C-alpha cells in the first residue's frame, strides 16, 4: 500500500506530516511512502533525508494525491487537493470538522474516508496519537516567548549595579496542555506565574510547576469528557469573569488557552478588564482559531488597546516547524501502526480510537448534525 505526503499548501504552514524517521518506520511496516519534493523544506528537512529513509520522491502534489491510498497531511485539504485525491482513498489530517461542513460533503462525494486528528480520544491507549496535545505543547512554549519579546521588560528578577529589576508577572488562563507548558516556560524564564482554570482538578498540576493557582470562590463541576473543560451556565460564567477581573489588572503578560471542543472559545477577557491593565502589558490569545478568549483579539494581528498589546497569533505552532513536525509525525505513525492488522492497513470503524476519528466514510458524513 502507498502512503503519500504532499507539501502543505496553506500559506505560512511550515510543518510536514511525516519526517524521515517516520518514513523509515512505515517502510519497515511494509508500506511504500511517496513524498512530494520540497515537502519538508519549511521544517528544514531536505529531500535527501527522505530518500535515505526510503521514500519515493514525487515532483508534484497531484502525483502524490493521485497515487496514494492513504494521504497524510497537517492542514485540511483545499478543494483542488480533494479533487485530486483518488476515489476510495483514506485521508488523515487536522480537518476542523465543526467548521468544515462543505469540505466533509466534498470528501463524501469523492468517496474518501477521512479521519480528523482533532478527534483522537483522550484515553491512555491513544495518548501517543494525540496530536492536539503534541501541538499544544509547542504552542504553549512559543506563546511565552512571543509575550516576552513583546513586553518591554525582562522576565526574571535581576540585581545589577544599576539597581534591581523586579520579575514580570505572567497569568495563564486555562491549564490544559498548552497552559501547563506556558507555565513551565514562563517559570524557566524567571517570571512570577499564576494560572486560572475552571477545573479544580488541575490545581495540583499548576502548583507542581511553581505557579499560584487562582481559585474561584465556588468551583463549578466543569470537567467534561476526556478531561476538557465543558461549557458553563450563565451564572457560572459570570463568576469566572469576576475571578479573572480581580486578578488580571496587575499582570504584565496574560496568555489565554481556554477552548471547548466543538464550541467557540469562551470570551474571558472583556473590554473593561483590558482597560484596567497597565500600558505596556501584553495579551497572547492562543484560542484565536476558535474565536479568541479576548474581546479585542483579531486573527493574525496585534491590536493595541489603551497601550495594551493584544496578540492573535495565527498558526503559532508552524513557527517551530521542526519539532512540531517530529511530534506530529510520531502521532501519525503510531496511528498507522494501530491501524495495521496482519501486515495490512485496515480502517476498523468499530475500534475505540479509529471509530471516533472517522468523519467521512462510504459517501456519508459521520460527524455532527450531518451524521
Tell me the pTM. Answer: 0.91
In degrees and rounded to multiples of 5, residue 284 shows phi and psi of: -115, 115
First to last CA, the chain: 29
* Cα pseudo-dihedral 18, 24, 27, 29, rounded to 10: -100
* pLDDT surpasses 90 at 225: no
Cα–Cα distances in Å, from 113 out to 10, 15, 29, 62, 340?
A: 22, 23, 22, 18, 16
Residue 10 CA to residue 107 CA, distance in Å, equals 18
Catalytic residue among 36, 110, 130, 329: 130
Residue 226's pLDDT band, with cuts at 50, 70 and 90, is low
The answer to whether 2-120+321-370 and 137-319 have equal CATH topology is: yes
What number does CATH give the domain 137-319?
3.40.50.720
Residue 304 CA to residue 235 CA, distance in Å, equals 31
pLDDT digits (tens, 9 = 90+) for 330-370: 999 999 999 999 889 999 999 999 999 999 999 999 987 55
pLDDT higher for 233 or 257? 257
Domain ranges for the chain: 2-120+321-370, 137-319
User: Is 15 an active-site residue?
Assistant: no
CA 274 to chain centre: 26
Look at residue 269 in the predicted model and tell me its pLDDT: 97
Residue 158 CA to residue 74 CA, distance in Å, equals 42
- Give the pLDDT mean for 100-125: 95
Residue 182 CA to residue 31 CA, distance in Å, equals 38
Q: In terms of Cα–Cα distance, which of 70, 74, 85, 73 is closest to 31?
A: 70
* Cα pseudo-dihedral 262, 103, 359, 318, rounded to 10: -60
Q: What percent of the chain has pLDDT over 70?
A: 95
* pLDDT surpasses 90 at 222: no
Catalytic residue among 66, 228, 236, 276: 228
pLDDT digits (tens, 9 = 90+) for 175-210: 999 999 999 999 999 999 999 998 888 999 999 999
| DSSP strand pairing (169-173 vs 56-58) | unpaired
Burial class (CB in 10 A: 0-12, 13-18, 19+), 269: buried
Catalytic residue among 66, 86, 122, 203: 122
pLDDT higher for 243 or 222? 243
C-alpha cell recorded at residue 236: 457560572
pLDDT digits (tens, 9 = 90+) for 5-64: 999 999 999 999 999 999 999 999 999 999 999 999 999 999 999 999 999 999 999 999
User: Is 348 an active-site residue?
Assistant: no
User: Is 9 an active-site residue?
Assistant: no
Please check whether residue 151 is in contact with residue 280, taking contact to mean a CB–CB distance below 8 angstroms.
Answer: yes
User: Is 194 an active-site residue?
Assistant: no
What number does CATH give the domain 2-120+321-370?
3.40.50.720
Catalytic residue among 36, 75, 100, 133: 133
User: Is 326 an active-site residue?
Assistant: no
Catalytic residue among 47, 96, 127, 314: 127
Amino acid at each position: 500500500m502507498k502512503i503519500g505526503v504532499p507539501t502543505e499548501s496553506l500559506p505560512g504552514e511550515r510543518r510536514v506530516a511525516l519526517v524521515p524517521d517516520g518514513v523509515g518506520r512505515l517502510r519497515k511496516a511494509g508500506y511504500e511512502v511517496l513524498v512530494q519534493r520540497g515537502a519538508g523544506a519549511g521544517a528544514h528537512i531536505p529531500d535527501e533525508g527522505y530518500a535515505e529513509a526510503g521514500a519515493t520522491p514525487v515532483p508534484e502534489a497531484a502525483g502524490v494525491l493521485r497515487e496514494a491510498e492513504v494521504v497524510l497531511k497537517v492542514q485540511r485539504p483545499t478543494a483542488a487537493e480533494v479533487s485530486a485525491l483518488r476515489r476510495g482513498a483514506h485521508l488523515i489530517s487536522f480537518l476542523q470538522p465543526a467548521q468544515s461542513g462543505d469540505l466533509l460533503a466534498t470528501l463524501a462525494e469523492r468517496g474518501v474516508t477521512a479521519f480528523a486528528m482533532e478527534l483522537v480520544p483522550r484515553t491512555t491507549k491513544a495518548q501517543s496519537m494525540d496530536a492536539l496535545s503534541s501541538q499544544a505543547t509547542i504552542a504553549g512554549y512559543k506563546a511565552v516567548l512571543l509575550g516576552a519579546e513583546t513586553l518591554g521588560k525582562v522576565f526574571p528578577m535581576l540585581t545589577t549595579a544599576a539597581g534591581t529589576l523586579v520579575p514580570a508577572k505572567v497569568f495563564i488562563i486555562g491549564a490544559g496542555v498548552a497552559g501547563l507548558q506556558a507555565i513551565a516556560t514562563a517559570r524557566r524564564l524567571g517570571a512570577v506565574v499564576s494560572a486560572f482554570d475552571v477545573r479544580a482538578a488541575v490545581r495540583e498540576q499548576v502548583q507542581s510547576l511553581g505557579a499560584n493557582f487562582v481559585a474561584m470562590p465556588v468551583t463549578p463541576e466543569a470537567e467534561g469528557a476526556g478531561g476538557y473543560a465543558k461549557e458553563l451556565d450563565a451564572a457560572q460564567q459570570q463568576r469566572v469573569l469576576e475571578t479573572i477581573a480581580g486578578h488580571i489588572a496587575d499582570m504584565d503578560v496574560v496568555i489565554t488557552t481556554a477552548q471547548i471542543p466543538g464550541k467557540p472559545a469562551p470570551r474571558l477577557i472583556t473590554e473593561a478588564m483590558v482597560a484596567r491593565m497597565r500600558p505596556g502589558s501584553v495579551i497572547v490569545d492562543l484560542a484565536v482559531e476558535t474565536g479568541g478568549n479576548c474581546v479585542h483579539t483579531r486573527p493574525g494581528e496585534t491590536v493595541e488597546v489603551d497601550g495594551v498589546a493584544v496578540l492573535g497569533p495565527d498558526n503559532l505552532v508552524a513557527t517551530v516547524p521542526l519539532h512540531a513536525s517530529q511530534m506530529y509525525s510520531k502521532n501519525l505513525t503510531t496511528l498507522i501502526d494501530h491501524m495495521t492488522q496482519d501486515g495490512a492497513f485496515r480502517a476498523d470503524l468499530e475500534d475505540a480510537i479509529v471509530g471516533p476519528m472517522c468523519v467521512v466514510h462510504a459517501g456519508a458524513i459521520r460527524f455532527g448534525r450531518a451524521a
